[in-house]
């Protein structure tokens, strides 16, 4: 590959078709493709990292000339940096093809909001869409029009640290939040100067990792692939997702990044999707480790022929594709098809017309008026009140609060993995938030212990502070790096140094609230009995401790509900609500512990109390159900109604319960709201077969809302 030959100044005909902004995109793509040499095409099919690589799991990465198709830029937050490189691509290359810059803005660019797992606990997709649109604006104005988000891997084993990055255990929930996030990033038109291309990942089945280990093979039946893992991808594609990332795992023996079935037959042919597929980092090269290729040349051969359009980081395409074409092992048509998809994306992003983001100051790009309120509200609605024996809310004057734990005076661990580019001063620590909420004189702080290790020397100070206080607020949790990529843990329990601190504090006899910051469900069987109240904050982003302080004082009424099951103990995982039926429902339980979870899917408390009426069929065509929910308390509250269905008898056995719809509404104190579920029988009662074909069987179906049940016959 001779890059120098491509870095020559263009002397083209007047205005070639591909440069004519008003010509149809497909015509521009074909025109440009017809002018490109094989080398130029192959360059487009590669992506490398630019600058320091912040993700320790992204190993390797050479630096090459900025004439490739795409760059991941982990450090750039300023358009002038991007513009310098883009200028070279636009002005010094023969055809002036803009570079596509990408970045993992997973839950915010600078204005960082809660991790995706938390987002789904808000059951507020409109709010998630708004947060994603803030992220899009900040990213695009910084010169980065592509994010590797949303991650929609279904995760049912909390040991797998990447459960933090997705929307939990349920395919429907993940589908709804996937679509919301794609809409937030992309809007109606990705050429808009404040929008970016989304990338749904990791396609596919990555979350089915055995024993929570990352990068390992997965075994997923065709049935489960279609009924569990595929729906969020279908939803993302229907929402217009511009790109998809292929995953690291092998699936039933074939690496996902080299699977003609998954990449070409399903995505491109069955779904008729015309977007672009990028590999995950080094996934092409890793085919060798997976035993699917003898060397990197064979890796490139397998991946490109499977339909993988762009090679992230490992340069296997860069180094081998030209030779593979010359040897006849890869057809030029295959190359053209991938390049067509890459160019189409660049045209759709408007990069040919507007390659340079405007030069703006950080103040003009980030944290604009109203942004903080959105991410704060999302953090409030994502927080889940798991236990309350009546201690909460504390009120605004609860006396002295002993604020204890390794999370209290901590910035970065409030952010979570893939934390974007927040500044320390953007993040409100728990300590700061409690001082603001309750007054500094009322907050007695002690760290107590670190996240892990054996140092218990801080216990004494913590216990002393607890004795002086009226209430103890204990802030425990995980470091950001414990979840996310390669964040694997053998147990969901917090380290014993943290658990034991709780035991010591309990001995003071003071009422105790447990605040949790973590990126996965936790094993709480020992901590739960010690606490009068438990609030799950997840990793809330820059709003940090403010939502927690507001919920504890009662300024904010909690409304989050779990999108992932909390087991009683780690030995129960994988555990999830929508498991298939067992052959002996009355047997098959653990001998040593309960078989029930600690907190089930969709569980979460409010300070309001809600009373549910019965499910009523209110219309036959379209088949519509209603349920009334009354706020029986004197406090306005948000309530989410989850509509499940059950198909008790079917050819392919189905889960006990399947979520099909949810809705969140504000119910004023003492008032009643109607919640409505309009059924599309094929969509909501139907099922998919092993090839993804949806069908509907005659018979009885049940509609379930909490303990209410309504039976219909089709
Ligand atoms: C590897 C991760 O698996 C993926 O999620 C991420 O988008 C890429 N690296 C790029 O950073």
CA distance 137 to 187: 11
Q: Model pTM?
A: 0.96
User: How far, in Å, from the CA of 245 to the mean position of ligand 1?
Assistant: 9
E strands of 552-657, at which residues?
A: 610-612, 616-619, 624-631, 637-646
Q: Decide if 280 is catalytic.
A: yes
Name the pLDDT band for 9 (thresholds 50, 70, 90). very low
CA distance 555 to 436: 13
For the chain, what percent of residues have pLDDT higher than 70? 96
Note the pLDDT of residue 64: 52
Q: Which ligand 1 atom minimizes the distance to the CA of 149?
A: 7
CA distance 102 to 186: 14
Instruction: For tokens 């192959």, name the residue.
Output: 42
Q: Which ligand 1 atom minimizes the distance to the CA of 106?
A: 7
Name the pLDDT band for 449 (thresholds 50, 70, 90). very high
| Average pLDDT value for the chain | 95
Name the pLDDT band for 74 (thresholds 50, 70, 90). confident
User: How far, in Å, from the CA of 161 to the mean position of ligand 1?
Assistant: 14
E strands of 424-519, at which residues?
A: 443-446, 471-477, 512-517
Note the pLDDT of residue 12: 46
Q: For a ligand 1 pocket test, name from 50, 57, 58 the mutation site with the most ligand atoms within 8 angstroms of its C-beta.
A: 58
Give the three-state DSSP class for 283.
coil
401-404 and 443-446 strand pairing:
parallel
Task: Give the closest residue (by CA) to ligand 1 atom 4.
Answer: 280
Instruction: For tokens 């594609």, name the residue.
Output: 237
Note the pLDDT of residue 57: 55
The mean pLDDT value for 275-288 works out to: 98
Q: 318-345 burial, b for 16+ CB within 10 Å, e for fewer?
A: bbbbbebbeeebbeeebbbbbbbbbbbb
Q: List the beta bridge partners of residue 619.
A: 624
Least confident of 11-15, 351-355, 557-561: 11-15
Task: Give the closest residue (by CA) to ligand 1 atom 8.
Answer: 281
The mean pLDDT value for 623-644 works out to: 98
For residue 58, is pLDDT > 80? no
In the numeric block, which tokens belong to residue 451? 């996240």
Note the pLDDT of residue 54: 45
Name the pLDDT band for 84 (thresholds 50, 70, 90). confident
The mean pLDDT value for 69-77 works out to: 87
Q: Which ligand 1 atom minimizes the distance to the CA of 151?
A: 5
Which of 157, 214, 280, 311 is catalytic? The answer is: 280
HSE toward the beta carbon, residue 349, CA cutoff 13 A: 34
Name the pLDDT band for 82 (thresholds 50, 70, 90). confident
User: How far, in Å, from the CA of 116 to the mean position of ligand 1?
Assistant: 15
Note the pLDDT of residue 413: 97
Instruction: For tokens 């883009």, name the residue.
Output: 86
User: How far, in Å, from the CA of 280 to the mean position of ligand 1?
Assistant: 6
Q: Which ligand 1 atom minimizes the distance to the CA of 247?
A: 3
Q: Which ligand 1 atom minimizes the distance to the CA of 74?
A: 11
User: How far, in Å, from the CA of 340 to the mean position of ligand 1?
Assistant: 24
DSSP state of 197: B
In the numeric block, which tokens belong to residue 563? 């999108």
Give the three-state DSSP class for 392.
coil
Q: Which ligand 1 atom minimizes the distance to the CA of 148?
A: 7
For residue 52, is pLDDT > 80? no
Q: Which ligand 1 atom minimizes the distance to the CA of 202?
A: 5
Pair 371, 134: CB distance under 8 Å: yes
Query: How much of the chain is helix, strand and coil, in % rounded to 5?
Result: 35, 20, 50
Task: Give the closest residue (by CA) to ligand 1 atom 9.
Answer: 281
User: How far, in Å, from the CA of 535 to the mean position of ligand 1?
Assistant: 31
The mean pLDDT value for 656-667 works out to: 98
E strands of 39-163, at which residues?
A: 46-50, 70-73, 100-103, 146-147
How big is the CA angle at 59 (ends 57 and 64), to the nearest 5 degrees?
A: 135
Task: Give the closest residue (by CA) to ligand 1 atom 11.
Answer: 104
Distance of CA 125 to the CA centre of its chain: 13
Note the pLDDT of residue 50: 75
User: How far, in Å, from the CA of 347 to the mean position of ligand 1?
Assistant: 24
Task: Give the closest residue (by CA) to ligand 1 atom 7.
Answer: 148
Q: How many CB atoms lie within 10 A of CB 184?
A: 25
Name the pLDDT band for 60 (thresholds 50, 70, 90). very low
Q: Which residues contact 194 (CB under 8 A, 6 or more apart)?
A: 133, 136, 137, 140, 141, 187
Q: For a ligand 1 pocket test, name from 245, 283, 486 the mutation site with the most ligand atoms within 8 angstroms of its C-beta.
A: 245
Residues with CB under 6 A from ligand 1: 55, 58, 72, 104, 148, 201, 280-281, 485
Task: Give the closest residue (by CA) to ligand 1 atom 1.
Answer: 281
Note the pLDDT of residue 81: 82
Q: What is the pLDDT of residues 561-620, one digit of tens each?
A: 999 999 999 999 999 999 999 999 999 999 999 999 999 999 999 999 999 999 999 999
User: How far, in Å, from the CA of 459 to the mean position of ligand 1?
Assistant: 39
DSSP state of 245: E
Q: List the beta bridge partners of residue 101.
A: 71
Note the pLDDT of residue 8: 44
Q: Which residues contact 693 (CB under 8 A, 6 or more apart)?
A: none
Choose among 147, 144, 142: nearest CA to 78.
142
Put the strands of the sheet holding 311-312 in their side by side order: 146-147, 100-103, 70-73, 46-50, 311-312
Name the pLDDT band for 85 (thresholds 50, 70, 90). confident
Q: For a ligand 1 pocket test, name from 56, 280, 420 the mutation site with the most ligand atoms within 8 angstroms of its C-beta.
A: 280
User: How far, in Å, from the CA of 281 to the mean position of ligand 1?
Assistant: 6
How big is the CA angle at 496 (ends 493 and 502), to the nearest 5 degrees?
A: 95
**SS3 assignment for 321-379:** HHHHHHCCCCCHHHHHHHHHHHHHHHHHCCCCCCCCCCCCCHHHHCCCCCHHHHHHHHH
Q: Which ligand 1 atom minimizes the distance to the CA of 313?
A: 10
User: How far, in Å, from the CA of 162 to the mean position of ligand 1?
Assistant: 11
């Amino acid at each position: 590959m001779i890059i120098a030959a491509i870095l020559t100044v263009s002397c083209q005909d007047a205005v070639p078709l591909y440069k004519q902004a008003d010509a149809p995109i497909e015509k521009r793509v074909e025109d440009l493709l017809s002018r490109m040499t094989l080398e130029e095409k192959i360059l487009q099919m590669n992506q490398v990292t630019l600058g320091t690589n912040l993700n320790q799991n992204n190993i390797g990465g050479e630096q090459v000339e900025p004439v490739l198709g795409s760059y991941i830029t982990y450090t750039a937050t300023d358009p002038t940096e991007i513009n310098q490189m883009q200028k070279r691509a636009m002005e010094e290359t023969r055809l002036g093809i803009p570079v596509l810059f990408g970045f993992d803005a997973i839950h915010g660019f600078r204005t960082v909001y809660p991790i995706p797992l938390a987002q789904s606990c808000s059951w507020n997709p409109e709010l998630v869409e708004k947060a994603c649109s803030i992220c899009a604006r900040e990213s695009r104005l910084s010169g980065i029009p592509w994010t590797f988000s949303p991650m929609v891997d279904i995760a049912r084993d909390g040991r797998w640290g990447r459960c933090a990055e997705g929307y939990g255990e349920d395919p429907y929930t993940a589908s709804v939040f996937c679509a919301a996030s794609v809409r937030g990033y992309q809007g109606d038109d990705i050429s808009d100067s404040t929008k970016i291309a989304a990338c749904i990942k990791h396609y596919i089945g990555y979350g089915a990792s055995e024993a929570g280990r990352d990068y390992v093979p997965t075994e997923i039946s065709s049935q489960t692939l279609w009924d569990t893992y595929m729906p969020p991808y279908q939803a993302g594609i229907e929402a217009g997702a511009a790109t998809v990332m292929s995953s690291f795992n092998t699936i039933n023996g074939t690496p996902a990044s080299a699977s003609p079935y998954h990449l070409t037959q399903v995505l491109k042919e069955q779904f008729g999707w015309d977007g672009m597929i990028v590999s995950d980092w080094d996934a092409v090269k890793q085919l060798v480790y997976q035993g699917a290729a003898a060397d990197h040349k064979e890796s490139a051969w397998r991946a490109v022929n499977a339909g993988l359009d762009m090679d992230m980081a490992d340069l296997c395409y860069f180094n081998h594709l030209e030779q593979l074409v010359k040897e006849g092992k890869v057809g030029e048509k295959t190359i053209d098809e991938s390049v067509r998809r890459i160019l189409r994306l660049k045209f759709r992003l408007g990069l040919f017309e507007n390659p340079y983001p405007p030069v703006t100051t950080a103040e003009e790009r980030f944290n604009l008026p109203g942004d903080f309120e959105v991410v704060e509200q999302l953090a409030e609605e994502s927080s889940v009140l798991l236990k309350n024996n009546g201690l909460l809310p504390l009120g605004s004057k609860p006396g002295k609060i002993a604020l204890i734990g390794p999370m209290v005076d901590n910035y970065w661990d409030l952010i979570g993995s893939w934390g974007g580019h927040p500044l320390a001063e953007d993040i409100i620590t728990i300590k700061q938030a409690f001082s603001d909420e309750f007054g500094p004189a009322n907050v007695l702080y002690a760290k107590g212990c670190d996240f892990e290790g054996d140092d218990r020397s801080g216990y004494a100070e913590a216990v002393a502070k607890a004795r002086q206080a009226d209430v103890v607020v204990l802030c425990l949790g995980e470091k950001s790096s414990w979840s996310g990529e390669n964040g694997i843990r053998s147990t969901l329990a917090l380290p014993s140094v943290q658990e034991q601190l709780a035991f010591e504090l309990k001995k003071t006899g003071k009422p105790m609230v447990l605040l949790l910051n973590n990126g996965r469900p936790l094993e709480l069987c020992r901590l739960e009995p010690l606490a009068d109240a438990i609030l799950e904050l997840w990793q809330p982003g820059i709003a940090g401790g403010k939502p927690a302080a507001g919920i504890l004082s009662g300024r904010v009424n909690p409304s989050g509900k779990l999108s992932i099951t909390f087991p009683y103990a780690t030995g129960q995982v994988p555990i999830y609500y929508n498991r298939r039926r067992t052959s002996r429902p009355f047997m098959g339980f653990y001998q040593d512990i309960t078989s029930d979870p600690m907190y089930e899917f969709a569980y979460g408390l409010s300070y309001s109390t809600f009373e549910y009426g019965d499910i009523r069929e209110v219309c036959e065509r379209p088949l519509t159900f209603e349920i009334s929910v009354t706020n029986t308390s004197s406090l306005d509250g948000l309530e989410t109604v989850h509509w499940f269905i059950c198909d008790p008898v079917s050819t392919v056995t189905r889960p006990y319960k399947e979520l099909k719809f949810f809705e969140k509404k504000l119910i004023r104190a003492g008032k009643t709201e109607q919640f409505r579920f309009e059924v599309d029988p094929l969509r909501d009662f139907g099922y998919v077969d092993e090839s993804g074909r949806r069908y509907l069987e005659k018979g009885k179906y049940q509609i379930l809302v909490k303990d209410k049940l309504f039976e219909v016959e089709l």
